[in-house]
Amino acid sequence: MEKDNRANFGSKLGIILATAGSAVGLGNIWRFPYMTGDNGGAAFIFVYIMCVFLLGIPCIVNEFIIGRYSASNTARAYRKLSNGTPWAIIGYIGVLTGFLVTSYYSVVSGWCLQYIYASAAGHLKGDPQFFASYFADFEKDPIKPVIWAVVILVITHLIIIRGVKEGIEKASKALMPALFVILIILVVSACMLPNAWEGIEFLFKPDFSKVSKDLFLGALGQAFFSLSIGMGCLCTFASYFTKDTDLTNSAVQISVIDTVVAILAGLLIFPAAFSIGVSPDSGPSLIFITLPNVFEQAFSSVPIIGYIVAISFYILLSLAALTSLISLHEVSTAFLHEEMNINRKTAATIVTVICSVIAALCSLSLSDWDAISIGGKPLFDILDYLTGQILLPVGGFLTCLFVGWYLPKKIVRDEYTNYGSMRGKFFNIYLSCVKYLCPTLILLIFLHQIGVI
């Protein structure tokens, strides 16, 4: 175990909320509900929960062990533990992935801010066609989305420069409860709509005939992304954990929070959509085209409620995005701060400026300036593909091999049991998952994502 004079989170609650804040993000709200609805409802939820337990929790614990043991940024953490062997590269992959994701995630987060503004200003009114063209025009605008991406990066920056305890922890303690409260209020409003029951039934009625290879691999991939595995975020946050943090318990709590939020998002989206007979899709078109229309129509008898629901929904999305961005930004900030020996503020400023530039390029690549594309694909899509489909699984896979096969078992066990102060009941199960099961599953996700199986 390393020195104690490094910044730490001040409380267990802070640890859980900050790390759950990283996990709870756009993935929970715009992808999980749709995947559930489209893949056999409760059957998918069941497979997903299995994936969280078998793959998610062991991979989270891996990153926690590496981060807390080395008490360093992700690159240095792996470097310290790899003793001059090429394993050190995994840490750099994590930092690079985190950095690249920060850039394009901030673009989508910026869209959420624009939609808070647009719904508050009463601009989101019209027929379904209107919502589609409103989003298309906004996305193609060369200026507005760039400004919003920079705004959310600057908000993230202002939190990061206050440090771990005063910045990240305090912000998470305020933002996460706000997120839960808004989510619950929205779920209750949606479930009170006429025909809401059909949406609830659609979400939860198990259809086991839909359980297929694709569903299984889709659930695995979703669990991976949703739990923020493989981007250096968990490792970096764990480097601020206290010595008495129960790593497995924390991993379980974070996974439960993340899954509950995802299911609640389904309980918001499906009842609302079914109440007006719209079938929800996924991704940006769900969030920025289908849902504004759904909110407007579903609450048309009391428009003020529709108005408040729409604003609250985009605030909810922005909070989820912001807490994830904080963890992503911190990966690069901690890296520059410790590796270049510059102070935290300067490191954060460099990250914010470079990410703003890449975010601007990403955003512009979706506008009519198709100059910012490679092989006909916009930079935005390339970064999404490169990080989500390639770097993430590669990083996660190598981490499993590193912890399962390379690290001395004593280090792994010591961290797992807090140096013998806990029994570590599940240690052997955890280690077997990390050695055999998780690498196999990740390899399968990877092959599936690149279209080989």
Strand partners for 251: none
What are the angstrom distances between the C-alpha of 63 and each of 3, 94, 246, 334, 416?
19, 11, 14, 16, 11
Kindly tell me which of 321 and 361 has the beta carbon lying closer to ligand PHE: 321
Kindly tell me which of 298 and 359 has the beta carbon lying closer to ligand PHE: 359
28 binds ligand PHE (CB under 6 A): yes
Kindly tell me which of 254 and 298 has the beta carbon lying closer to ligand PHE: 254
Q: How far is CA 336 from the centre of its chain?
A: 22
222 binds ligand PHE (CB under 6 A): no
Kindly tell me which of 275 and 324 has the beta carbon lying closer to ligand PHE: 324
Kindly tell me which of 116 and 196 has the beta carbon lying closer to ligand PHE: 116
What are the angstrom distances between the C-alpha of 198 and each of 36, 193, 194, 271?
15, 11, 9, 7
For the record, the structure tokens of 19 come out as 């790390």
Question: What is the helix, strand, coil percentage profile of the chain, to 5?
Answer: 80, 0, 20
Task: Please select the residue that binds ligand PHE; options are 62, 228, 275, 318, rule is CB under 6 A.
Answer: 228
Q: Which of these ranges, 26-34, 172-180, 267-275, 394-402, lies near ligand PHE under the rule CB under 6 A?
A: 26-34
41 binds ligand PHE (CB under 6 A): no
Q: Give the Cα separation of 234 and 222 in Å (integer).
A: 17
265 φ/ψ angles, rounded to the nearest 5 degrees: -60, -35
Q: Which of these ranges, 22-30, 106-114, 138-146, 279-287, lies near ligand PHE under the rule CB under 6 A?
A: 22-30
User: How many residues does the structure list for the chain?
Assistant: 453
Kindly tell me which of 139 and 384 has the beta carbon lying closer to ligand PHE: 384
Task: Please select the residue that binds ligand PHE; options are 8, 17, 20, 25, rule is CB under 6 A.
Answer: 25
CA-wise closest residue to 281 among 40, 31, 93: 31
269 binds ligand PHE (CB under 6 A): no
Beta strands in 341-438 (DSSP E): 373-374, 377-378
CA-wise closest residue to 308 among 108, 124, 110: 124
23 binds ligand PHE (CB under 6 A): yes
Task: Please select the residue that binds ligand PHE; options are 324, 332, 356, 363, rule is CB under 6 A.
Answer: 324
Residues 88 to 147: which contact ligand PHE by CB under 6 A?
101
Kindly tell me which of 22 and 332 has the beta carbon lying closer to ligand PHE: 22
Give the DSSP letter of residue 208: G
33 binds ligand PHE (CB under 6 A): no
Kindly tell me which of 14 and 56 has the beta carbon lying closer to ligand PHE: 56
Q: Closest distance between ligand PHE and the C-beta of residue 319, in Å?
A: 12
Q: What spatial distance separates the first Cα and last Cα of the chain, rounded to whole Å?
A: 42
Task: Please select the residue that binds ligand PHE; options are 27, 56, 218, 424, rule is CB under 6 A.
Answer: 27
- Are 324 and 298 in contact by the 8 Å Cβ rule? The answer is no
To the nearest 10 degrees (0 to 180), the angle between helices 89-120 and 303-339 is 150
Residue nearest to ligand PHE (CB): 25
Residues lying near ligand PHE in the complex (CB under 6 A): 22-23, 25-28, 101, 225-226, 228, 231, 233, 324, 327-328
